[in-house]
Structure 1
Amino acid sequence: MSAFSSRYWVSARPLAAAACVFGVMTATLPEAHADDIRALRQSPPCDSKFLTALQISDLKQQLRVAYNLPAPSEATGKDDLDQATIVLSVGTLRPKHRDVIAYILSNSFCGTAGCATTILADRDDRRLAYPVFRVLTARTVVHLPITKLPTQHNGWPDLTVQIAGGGILQGYAAPAYFNGTTYTVDQSIHLGTITNGHSPKQGVPLLRDAPPAVGQCLLQ
Structure 2
Amino acid sequence: MNSETEPNPALEDAFSKEFALKRGEDEVRYYYNEIDLNGDGVPETFVYLTGPVVCGTGGCGGLVVERANGSYKVRSRFSLVRTPVFVSDSKTNGWKDLIMFVAGGGIEPGYRILRFDGKTYPLNPSIQPEVIEQSNIKGIGLINDDKMKNSGIEF
Q: Which residue of 1 aligns with 2:25?
A: 79
One of 134, 141, 155 as aligned partner of 1:205: 141
TM-score by length of structure 2 reads 0.78
* Mapped partners of 1:178, 1:159: distance in 2: 9
| Structure 2 residue ranges without an equivalent (≥5) | none
More strand by share: 2
Q: Which residue of 2 aligns with 1:119?
A: 64
Structure with bigger gyration radius: 1
1:176 aligns with 2:114: yes
* Mapped partners of 2:45, 2:61: distance in 1: 14
Aligned length: 148
* Mapped partners of 1:165, 1:106: distance in 2: 16
> Which letter does structure 2 place at the counterpart of 1:180?
G
Q: Which residue of 2 aligns with 1:68?
A: 20
| Structure 1 residue ranges without an equivalent (≥5) | 1-41, 48-55, 73-77, 212-216
> Which letter does structure 1 place at the counterpart of 2:72?
F
TM-score by length of structure 1 reads 0.57
After TM superposition, the structure 1 = structure 2 runs for residues 44-193 of structure 1, keeping only pairs within 5 Å, are: 45-46=5-6, 56-69=8-21, 78-80=24-26, 83-95=27-39, 96-123=41-68, 128=69, 130=70, 132-138=71-77, 140-168=79-107, 171-184=109-122, 185=125, 187=127, 189-192=129-132
* Mapped partners of 1:60, 1:135: distance in 2: 12
RMSD: 3.0
Q: Give the share of equivalent positions with the same residue, in percent.
A: 22
* Mapped partners of 1:133, 1:193: distance in 2: 35
> Which letter does structure 1 place at the counterpart of 2:92?
H
* Mapped partners of 1:156, 1:45: distance in 2: 26
| Pairwise CA distance, 1:113 | 0.5
